[in-house]
Amino acid sequence: MELPLHVLIISSLIKILIVVHVLLIGVMAMILAERKVSGWIQDRHGPNRVGPWGILQPIADGIKFFLKEDLIPDHVDKPIYVLAPAILLVPALIICAVVPFGSSITVAGYEIPLQIADINIGILYVLAITSLGVYGVVLGAWASNNKYSLLGGLRSSAQMISYELTLGLAIIGVLMLSGSLSLREIAIAQGANIWNWNFLIHLPAFLAFTTAAFAETNRLPFDLAEAEQELVAGYHTEYSSMKFAMYFMAEYMNMIVGSAVAVTLFLGGWHLFGLENLGGPFWSGVISIAIFSAKTALFLFVFIWVRWTLPRFRYDQLMNLGWKFLLPVALTSIVVTAIVWIGTQSKLLVGVCNVVAASVVVAIVASTLAMRREPEQIERQEPSFMKGSSSGRT
Amino acid sequence: MEFAGIKSLIFYAFALLTVASAVLVVTVRNIVHAAFSLMITLFGVAGLYVFLQADFLAATQVIVYVGGILVLILFGVMMTSGRLQMRIQIERGQLILGGLVALLILLLLFGVISNTPHWEGIKDDGSTLEPTTRTIGEMIMQGEFLLPFEVVSILLLVALIGAALISRKEVRDEE
Amino acid sequence: MLIDYLPILLLLVFAIGFAAINLALSHLLGPKKPTPSKLSVYESGVQPVGNARQRFTIRFDLIAMLFIIFDIEVVFLYPWAIVFKKFSESSGYFILIEMLVFIGILFLGYIYAWKKGGLTWD
């Protein structure tokens, strides 16, 4: 296990180079996939001019971004305007450090774990770095000195911090039964068989986590921060060329890394019915990477799928969902997991009781809201998000 | 290559980053720039916690201070400084008072440091150390810090009620 | 243990370098033909009205406040969650009751905030 220092540094550097490149290629693939799948869902072709099936489209886009005018408008706060995209991009890049993308691989006699850094507080590191993402948005919005940007940035940051809570609470059930914060150990604790994976044991938490991940990445149905029709791209209205591309890249990287974290926490990581143990010490590592990538890709497909399935939320609905539905569901999941585990020590019962309890909570909250809301909503004509975010008295 | 040498180099880099950005926080005129420097300072402090092997504390520092409290400060700053592009003005009286407070804190810190038994630093002999999160959990559960733990929840309850009251006031004002 | 963090530091340096190179390259490669209208505030093609940095609703501040309180609660739950499985075998109900008290007290506050309209966005 213990590697000599020079092996550690060299292997880390190689892993960093590979992971960052895979991430960048992943972003490109994701942009292409997004447009292709969108086309497929809407019964049209999508990009098909640059290279076969439009495969080279993202590369052409990337080059174009570099060659566009690097515009810094007059009215912006220069240092922060320039730094803000970097503040979003750097956290998006460094989160992937703790994600185990495979078991381990043996090269030249050294067993190298397929993860950049296996630290004790793995999942807390993910949460901590995620919370840095708010700054790229809010500082960029402030520096732009544009009404759309500021409004979008504020909406986005309030949304991000609200859903961060759900993110933090939803994983506690998983931590309780894994007894570790290290992502590698959480993945190992789930084992090879699908009925031991956390998404079955903690189904409500998994759904809450996924919803929060959508909100954290500002994806539809929670993309109010950049709602094209009302906010003209929101916090990056004033950004162009590479600085805009950096916002874009960071968003897609967050999506990819978020999916990878979800796969690790809830979908068994690199495990799949023992398939990951086939082959020797080298090939089993390669297979585990393939399994992990496939699962992540599947999760990413859901991101695109949802985009064309659900309409955008209104801001008050978004906040309601986060604070009044997901938060109690996540809390209940912790309590139920604790009680049932102490009582029966059975994962099956924990899973069943979690689903039942979450349904009860959702029913209670929904009926409370329905009872209180109805008369009020009929009498109010004005959509409430306008009142909330742009509040007339300025 | 020896890790110890690199380690102290990285430590001084982090210390410099923390101190330099902290100086910026108090000297920069633009209040949002100051908030930005504060973010770097808090991040640097988290890095120093990692050097003390307090990994849980480091993560908590970033999650609570950088991810929460500083966002609140930033919202407040953005809300008030607004169109005035507020410049911070320091008067002579404030300067003297502030200097006195700073001096007192400095003396206090020196007192604490000199009263601390000579400290050799934490021995870092590879990966044998217990994860601090588990140790903290055990200390809470085994009764040693059980009472403070429950008291914290009451403290948070009080804060929550306070926050809810403020928001209630705002709603009433709007009507 | 400290050495586990070395790769993260390497990645951090790498990421900062990557961001800097991106910014620098586009600055060097892109053409520069600024015009007054290009440099002005974008407001859907209309002449900008007033300054963007105005006061906004206090709701955002309140959300941030509530967030901090719950965030601290969540942070306190992690050490407990880590030792839960180990202690559930030996001292069973004690660890359960301890947490139920902690969560229960905060749940009261949550209900109170809800009733007072602190969680309602309008």
Query: Does A102 map to a domain?
Result: yes
Question: Quick one: average pLDDT of C59-77?
Answer: 86
DSSP state letter for A110: E
| Rounded alpha-carbon distances, angstroms, from residue A192 to A261, A277, A279 | 17, 10, 16
Same domain, A162 and A258: yes
Same domain, A32 and A161: no
Same domain, A202 and A267: yes
Per DSSP, which regions of chain A are E strands?
104-107, 110-113
CATH number of C2-115: 1.20.58.1610
Same domain, A96 and A194: yes
Same domain, A201 and A59: no
pLDDT at position B93 is 82
Query: Which residues in chain B have Cβ-Cβ distances shorter than 8 Å to A142?
Result: 32, 78
pLDDT (tens digit per residue) in A137-192 = 888 888 887 778 888 888 888 888 889 989 999 999 899 888 888 888 888 888 87
Lowest mean pLDDT among A220-234, C19-33, C61-75: A220-234
- The Cα A168–Cα B136 span in angstroms is 18
Q: How many domains does chain A have?
A: 2
Every domain of chain C and the residues it spans: 2-115
> What is the pTM assigned to this prediction?
0.87
- Indicate yes or no: CB of C82 within 8 angstroms of CB of B137: yes
- With residue C67 as reference, give the H or E element that holds it: helix C59-90
- Residue written as token pair 């720039």: B33
Residue range of the domain that includes A43: 18-67
Tokens of A376: 């009020």
Same domain, A129 and A140: yes
Same domain, A30 and A122: no
Same domain, A96 and A148: yes
Q: Is C1 on the interface with A (CB under 8 A)?
A: yes
Q: How confident is the model at residue B121 (pLDDT cuts 50, 70, 90)?
A: low
CB C66 within 8 A of CB B69: no
Give percent of chain C with pLDDT exceeding 70: 86
Least CB–CB distance from C61: residue in B79, B131, B134: B79
Query: Does A348 map to a domain?
Result: no
What residues of chain A score a pLDDT lower than 50?
1, 378-394
- The Cα C104–Cα C102 span in angstroms is 5
- Tell me: pLDDT of C103 over 70: yes
Q: Is C61 on the interface with A (CB under 8 A)?
A: no
pLDDT at position B130 is 62
Q: Is C58 on the interface with B (CB under 8 A)?
A: yes
Same domain, A50 and A145: no
Q: Is the torsion defined by CA of B80, B86, B91, B96 positive or negative? A: positive
pLDDT at position B124 is 53
Least CB–CB distance from C105: residue in B64, B140, B154: B154
- Cβ neighbours of C93 (radius 10 Å): 12
- Tell me: pLDDT of B2 over 70: no
Same domain, A37 and A161: no
Least CB–CB distance from B156: residue in C5, C61, C69: C69
Q: What is the dihedral of CA A393, A218, B33, A81, to 10 degrees?
A: -100
Query: Does A8 map to a domain?
Result: no
Query: Does A87 map to a domain?
Result: yes
B2, B60, B62, B156, best to mutate vs chain A, most A CBs in 10 Å: B62
- Indicate yes or no: CB of B157 within 8 angstroms of CB of C82: no
Least CB–CB distance from C2: residue in B75, B78, B124: B124
- The Cα A213–Cα A207 span in angstroms is 10
Same domain, A76 and A182: yes
Q: Is B63 on the interface with A (CB under 8 A)?
A: yes
ipTM: 0.87
Question: Quick one: average pLDDT of B42-56?
Answer: 87
Query: Which residues in chain C have Cβ-Cβ distances shorter than 8 Å to A338?
Result: 84, 96, 99-100
Same domain, A221 and A113: yes
- Indicate yes or no: CB of B71 within 8 angstroms of CB of C73: no
Q: Is C93 on the interface with B (CB under 8 A)?
A: no
Query: Does A109 map to a domain?
Result: yes
Higher pLDDT, C50 or A145: A145
Give percent of chain C with pLDDT exceeding 90: 8
- Indicate yes or no: CB of C71 within 8 angstroms of CB of B133: no
pLDDT at position B122 is 55
Question: Quick one: average pLDDT of B80-100?
Answer: 71
- Residue written as token pair 């633009």: B30
Least CB–CB distance from A172: residue in C81, C92, C107: C81
Q: Is C41 on the interface with A (CB under 8 A)?
A: yes
